[in-house]
Every structure is written in C-alpha cells, then in structure tokens.
Structure 1
C-alpha cells in the first residue's frame, strides 16, 4: 500500500478546479505500472513522487496523462507540491525544488497559495500558415478571428491562439476530430469588469477540453507579457464552459535585463493558484 492524494488545483473550492491524482513513495513501480494506473484514474494527469536524483531537489516527479508521459505540466506540479507538503514534506530551502523531465522547477509558497516558476519555452515564435490552418479548421474559426498565434511549448507542445476577446474564446465549439496535434490553447481579454483579466481554454491531444491548465497559462504569460499585450500581473479564468471556476494568477518578476530567470523579455514568469486536498488515503500499488 502506498499513500495516495487527490488535489483540486487552481481553485479554493473542491470540484471547481482541475484534479490531479498523486501517488506518494512511488519508487519500485515500473513504467508499465505507472502508465496503467494513470489510465485507470482517467484524470488529465496522474503523478508519482519519487526520491530525487539531483541533490538540489526535494523530490522527483513523473507526470502521466492517460496516453503518455509529460516532461512538465503545471497543475500537476502545484497539486503534487501540495500533496507532498501535506504528507510532511519539508523543503531544503525557502523554495520547493521539483525534479522532473523538464529539469528543476521551483515552487514558492505565497501563504496558502502555491506558484511555480515557468520553465523556458522549448519552442516559441510565429506559427506558419501550414500549421495554423488545421488548427483553425479544428476550432471552426476564420483566420480573421485571430489576432495572433505563436508556438508556446514548454513541454506538452502548446500552440496558442489570441482571439479578439473573452467572449470569442467562450463561443468556440471545437471539432476534436480535426484538431489533431499539437495541443491548442486559446486566450482572449475581458473588456471592463469581467471575472478575470483573460479567459483561457485548452484542447489537449486526448480529445477533451482541459479544465484548468498551468503549463498553457505559463507559456501564454511568457508570450503575451513579453509581447506587451498583457500586463506584468494578471488573473486568468479557465474552465468556465465546463462548469469550473479556475483562477490562475500570473506575474512576471524581473525586467528586460534578464533578472529573475527565464521568462518573457528576460523576467521570470510565475504561475500560481489555490489548491484543495480533496482525497487522502492509500492505494494498492
């Protein structure tokens, strides 16, 4: 028997965020067992806490969807950190250091809220028409509806599309059979007094809309803060069409001189949210 947690991420109320399943003390399980358990939970991600191989790290994390392993993902990072802390984990320093396929990821505690430092983009820059056209067909959008598009890949492989406003984002009815790959994120600003500054939606390669997505929000922040489209600090709403109330707090610390690490225009982008420990027990693995 191993300790098991399920954490709702990017919400302060259980059932309104994005859940992640966390298996503690997962050493001794092989890749087939990890993948099989992730398929069984049938959540967007399941994670496994392991002893670190890097002495700087507090723990090592492996992240699985129902179909593949990811080098990095945002809501599993925050949910796993919350589960690790709740199980008695004590970081070596002020920041929690997670080792994962993307390298070392730093997590800070802002009171009860956790935030991760966005890893550097693996791929960025404009999207050519050959790559954008099938995405637009899958989103059922005309090219004139798009203000901008960019590669925003920090591990999962995101292609991000900026629409004219939040209402346009909420109105999208995707054709998942035509979206294919890569994973696609869309974002639009709220005008005046909305529930947040922007609305975000994520359509992943497993053919579903993801409720609240840390990695996508991280890469959107790096892209649009760096481009001067969004302010240095803002709040994203996500999950609205799914009956969720995800809130993602994004900020860039450090300026164009490169202070603060990797991020848009030289600063470090941090992505934070509330977490709720919903399930705590053991699992027969």
Structure 2
C-alpha cells in the first residue's frame, strides 16, 4: 500500500485517526496458514512482584512442536530460557513426572533452576483451576518434572500471607575442578585480595556446572565486567564448565545472606537457580553455611530485576545431599502463539 504523509493526514482529518490507521497497521497482517496454536504463560520467577525476578515463557502443551520449533520460539522470546510441557497420560505422569524440555537460545539444556520452578508453579495453577484438583490436597503439594537431567520434584507450601512458595530438590552435587585464585583474579582484572577465602574457586554441578567465586566486597561484585576475549579463551580450556557464579557475604542487608551475579560473555542472568544450588552445596561443604540452614541469595539487583533465591542443603558424612532451591513466582501474561 502506497501511503504518503499527505494522504495519511487527509484521511485522518476526514475519516478519523482510527479509520486511517486500520489499513496501514493491519492491512498486511495475516494469521499463519498452518493454524497451529500453542497457549503459554509468562512468569516472573524468584520474586513476589510482577516485572521483577527472572522472566520465563512456559508453553502449556508443546505436542506437535519439533526441537527446531522450540529452539526458534526460545530465540523469538529474547529470554534466557523457555520451557515446553509435553503432557502424557495421568498414569505415566504419576510414575515418571510431567515431561518438560528446557531450551536456551543456544539449544536444549538438561536442567535450569528458574524454568523448573516457574513451570511447576504454572502446572500447580492449572491443577488448582481444574475441577478435579480440589478433591486431593496432595495433588497440589508436589509436582515432579521429568527433565533431561532426571526426575526433579518441586514441593509447595503456603506462607502466612497465603502466598505459594515452591522448592526444587536438585540432584546430588558433583564437585569438579579447582581453579587457581591468581588466574581467576587476572581473568577478571581483580586484585588477588578481592577474592575471599570462604573456600576454593571450584566448579560444582547439580545439573549444570558453575565455578563459584567468593568476593570480599559488594563493591567488587557490583563493578564486575567480563572481558569477552579472555573469558572465551579460559572457558575453552575448561570442558564442562558453563561459567562463573559470583557471591559475597557483604550484602548491606541483614535479611540477605549473600549477594550474587551470574555474568557471561554478552549477558547476565537475573536469577540462576541451578547456580544457587551449586553454591549452597559448596557453602555447606566448606563450612560457610551450616547444614540445613535456609539462606537467602539476592541476585539481579544490578539488572534492576532483583530476585530472592532461598537455598539449603544437608550433610551425610562427607557427602553434601538434599540440595533445595526455593522461591516465589508471579504469572503476568497468558497468551497464544500462532505458527
């Protein structure tokens, strides 16, 4: 359609602005011919307030999507991850859990914290709104997700204000490589004394791998920057190490035990539940936190998306077990994707 400025102004003056905008804004927008439609929920995870925390899109029934579809959709969302529910019959879901696939813009991953919690919260809400759910409280007390990393149970409890808190039980931690303190300081252009002595800089995995870097001062955490060239070169020599998770006890808030950031080349995460699980395992292992003590990690402040992650872990002899990562979530959008 050839629409000049003069024609637009003439149409607006004679027929009204809405009438003139109609053919311009909508004249060439058509629905996809395939007719495939997929409902989704947009959730802000690890927060009690909309538009904070870590955002997530959860597709409620992804049957009929290929892996290529899921990857393309995740890239379309411009989010760090998206989750895709693949419903099965009730008997299979009772035995094996609800099948869920998690994608980043780079591909499918076996596990991630905020997609796990966010998806479980959405499933709980769907069950709550179904006619049959009210008959059994146990139906709402726990939901098990069948992820590529294995079966991950998410337990729910209601706090005194009536808000639903969800807690993920992650897989047992795997303690990997210990990194040289001076090398890590140079990698981040830090002085050696800016790294704390809470424990070694070590790679830990509870489904995804992160190297835990303890820092002495909040100001150091806030000013961290990633040198892309140096970071890529370092990570290329560390097979299986996804990235770094930076923490400090210097929070400036008596209610917050640790502040954290998860930075990578080209981006930052507002809340990283998988890394928080690795971190509580590391804390209990090296005595920074007592076994079974819940602690609050606040992340995302520098992004203006503050997130609160509640973590705890147990000790069984020399082993760190029962890794639990919890928080709240808020649904902000419900919609439909047309393909």
Matches of 1:265 and 1:19 in 2, distance apart?
Answer: 33
Tell me how far 1:31 sits from its aligned partner. Answer: 1.0
Matches of 1:195 and 1:178 in 2, distance apart?
Answer: 36
Residue 223, structure 1, aligned to residue 282, structure 2: yes
Residue 141, structure 1, aligned to residue 190, structure 2: yes
Residue 214, structure 1, aligned to residue 273, structure 2: yes
Contact 1:162 1:186 in 2 (8 A): yes
Matches of 2:109 and 2:98 in 1, distance apart?
Answer: 17
Tell me how far 1:192 sits from its aligned partner. Answer: 6.7
Q: 1:197 aligns with which of 250, 257, 261?
A: 257
User: As a proportion of its length, which structure holds more helix?
Assistant: 2
Q: Quick one: structure 1 residues 191 and 214, their matched pair in 2 at CA, closer, same or farther if it must change by over 3 Å?
A: closer
Residue 106, structure 1, aligned to residue 153, structure 2: yes
SS of the residue 2:209 aligns to: coil
Matches of 1:39 and 1:132 in 2, distance apart?
Answer: 37
SS of the residue 2:201 aligns to: strand
Q: Quick one: structure 1 residues 192 and 6, their matched pair in 2 at CA, closer, same or farther if it must change by over 3 Å?
A: closer
Gaps of 5+ in 2: 1-36, 159-163, 236-241
Structure 1 equivalent of residue 53 of structure 2:
17
Contact 1:138 1:176 in 2 (8 A): no
Q: Quick one: structure 1 residues 92 and 86, their matched pair in 2 at CA, closer, same or farther if it must change by over 3 Å?
A: closer
Q: TM-score by structure 1 length?
A: 0.87
Matches of 1:224 and 1:37 in 2, distance apart?
Answer: 37
Structure 2 equivalent of residue 188 of structure 1:
248
Determine which structure has more spread, i.e. the larger CA radius of gyration. Answer: 2
- How many residues were matched structurally? 274
Contact 2:260 2:297 in 1 (8 A): yes
1:157-196 alignment to 2 at 5 Å? 157-180=209-232, 181=235, 182-190=242-250, 193-194=253-254, 196=256
Residues 156-197 of structure 1: per-residue CA shift (max 9 Å, x gap):
321111112433322322223432233111111036744511
Contact 2:216 2:250 in 1 (8 A): no
1:1-285 alignment to 2 at 5 Å? 1-51=37-87, 56-88=95-127, 94-111=141-158, 112-121=164-173, 123-129=174-180, 133=183, 135-146=184-195, 147=197, 148-180=200-232, 181=235, 182-190=242-250, 193-194=253-254, 196-204=256-264, 207-231=266-290, 232-252=293-313, 254-256=314-316, 265-285=319-339
Q: Quick one: structure 1 residues 275 and 235, their matched pair in 2 at CA, closer, same or farther if it must change by over 3 Å?
A: same
SS of the residue 1:87 aligns to: helix
Q: CA RMSD in A?
A: 2.4
Contact 2:256 2:296 in 1 (8 A): yes
SS of the residue 1:27 aligns to: coil
Contact 2:273 2:309 in 1 (8 A): yes
Contact 2:222 2:302 in 1 (8 A): yes
Residues 41-71 of structure 1: per-residue CA shift (max 9 Å, x gap):
1100011001356652331111111112110
SS of the residue 1:12 aligns to: coil
Gaps of 5+ in 1: 258-263
Contact 2:172 2:320 in 1 (8 A): no
Q: TM-score by structure 2 length?
A: 0.74
